[in-house]
Amino acid sequence: MLSATGDLLCVNGDTLTQQRVLRRLLTNAGDYIWQLAYGAGLGQMVGQPANDTAIENIIRGQIFQESAVAQVPAPVVTTTVNTDGTVSAEIQYADAATGASSTLTFQVQ
């Protein structure tokens, strides 16, 4: 997020959780040298034939490893292949710290 003068702002709450989830999903496994198993590598799927089931399974496998996301109730992951070949993903989850429900929607292009 940016301030009125264009400086970077620190975030917290739901915005921080969403950033953590997206960072985990977009980081390639092996790229984070302090935790080689960290990351889902969804960015590597860009340009590949759309496989919403594989993307959904990858997200499910990673979302439970993110400490900012509550385990109960379990996150709900839904993916859809769009007519243009992109895959839309929606994750409904509860914040581990506050219990507040949230939805994160993004596209894998």
Domain ranges of the chain: 13-108
pLDDT tens, position by position, 8-67: 888 888 888 999 999 999 999 999 899 998 999 998 888 888 889 999 999 999 999 999
Arch. (CATH architecture) of 13-108: Roll (3.10)
Count of beta carbons in the 10 Å neighbourhood of residue 75: 20
Structure tokens at 99: 């219990």
Structure tokens at 103: 């939805």
- Strand order through the sheet with 87-94: 76-81, 87-94, 101-108
| The pLDDT value given to residue 10 | 86
| The pLDDT value given to residue 103 | 96
